Amino acid sequence: MNLDNATVLITGANRGLGLAFAREALARGARKVYAGARDPAAITLPGVVPIRLDVTNADDVAAAARACGDVTLLINNAGIAAPGGFIGDDSIAAAQRHLDTNFFGPLRLTQAFAPILAANGGGAILNVLSIASWINSPTLGSYGMSKSAAWAMTNGTRLELREQKTQVLALHVGFIDTDLTRGMDVPKTAPEAVVRTTFDALEAGASEVLADEITRQVHQGLSANPAVYLKAIGE
């Protein structure tokens, strides 16, 4: 899919990776960029159209679909990442919170906008996933679980939407240098670099993009013996 003259909707576009997606979409000639956020007042980037959009709120999603009927590219970027594994007292509640934002959020948007994309010629959906779609750790258990679920959903919807010619691209990446990873002493990739790599893959017609070296290494290790997912992140 070509970004030139596209109409783009980005969830979680007020900061971090979402803001970088908005800037680069404009730079590549997008005709219109809808910037979704829980608080539209948090959207300050010139040239975008702020949209109130909490991906966990079905009414917000429905309202966005009514207001943005010209969308040709949906970027499911909004997400949360809280520390914690699966055995703690609050693990069920944490898992539900992560699933509601990181899995059901993109699913709600995909369901709402699939007919719009079909009416506009097919278009594309870009789902922001993670290296944690494939590997997990006690520190990011619920987050990784939600991204694994979102990866499965991405692969399934790609097949379901093939007939309407909607490109579905999965972005896998490690730690990105944003507010989400502030305070983490780990190697990080600049969001602008991730976005450039991702949009290049989108415009090349790809179905999956591995946006940094650590993600490419982990992807290779999925078929190793022992497989990389038998170890925790960072081991």
Query: Is 1 a domain residue?
Result: no
How many angstroms separate the Cα of 113 from the Cα of each of 10, 52, 61? Answer: 12, 16, 9
Concerning whether 147 is annotated as a catalytic residue, the answer is: yes
- The active-site residue out of 32, 34, 147, 231 is 147
**pLDDT value at residue 60:** 98
- The active-site residue out of 32, 143, 229, 231 is 143
Query: Is 70 a domain residue?
Result: yes
Number of domains in the chain: 1
Read off φ and ψ for residue 101, nearest 5 degrees: -85, -50
**pLDDT value at residue 181:** 58
Say if residue 103's pLDDT is above 90. yes
pLDDT average, residue stretch 8-33: 97
Query: Coil, strand or helix: which one is 223?
Result: coil
Q: Which residues of 136-147 are buried (b: 16+ CB within 10 A; e: fewer)?
A: bbeebbbbbbbb
**pLDDT value at residue 182:** 62
Concerning whether 34 is annotated as a catalytic residue, the answer is: no
**pLDDT value at residue 215:** 95
**pLDDT value at residue 231:** 77
Query: Is 235 a domain residue?
Result: no
Query: Is 86 a domain residue?
Result: yes
pLDDT band at residue 101 using 50, 70 and 90 as cut-offs: very high
**pLDDT value at residue 230:** 87
Say if residue 49's pLDDT is above 90. yes
Query: Is 32 a domain residue?
Result: yes
- Spatial separation of the C-alpha atoms in residues 173 and 145, rounded to whole Å: 15
- Spatial separation of the C-alpha atoms in residues 144 and 206, rounded to whole Å: 23
Q: Answer yes or no: are the C-beta atoms of 144 and 229 closer than 8 Å.
A: no
**Which domain CATH number covers 34?**
3.40.50.720
Model confidence over 159-194: pLDDT tens digits?
999 999 999 999 999 988 876 656 666 667 899 999
Model confidence over 128-151: pLDDT tens digits?
999 999 999 888 999 999 999 999
What proportions of the chain, in percent to the nearest 5, are helix, strand and coil? Answer: 45, 15, 40
Say if residue 156's pLDDT is above 60. yes
**pLDDT value at residue 104:** 98
What is the span of the domain harbouring residue 39?
Answer: 7-230
Say if residue 232's pLDDT is above 90. no
Query: Is 65 a domain residue?
Result: yes
pLDDT average, residue stretch 186-214: 94
Query: Is 61 a domain residue?
Result: yes
Query: Is 148 a domain residue?
Result: yes
Predicted TM-score (pTM) of this structure? 0.95
**pLDDT value at residue 175:** 85
Model confidence over 104-130: pLDDT tens digits?
999 999 999 999 999 999 999 999 999
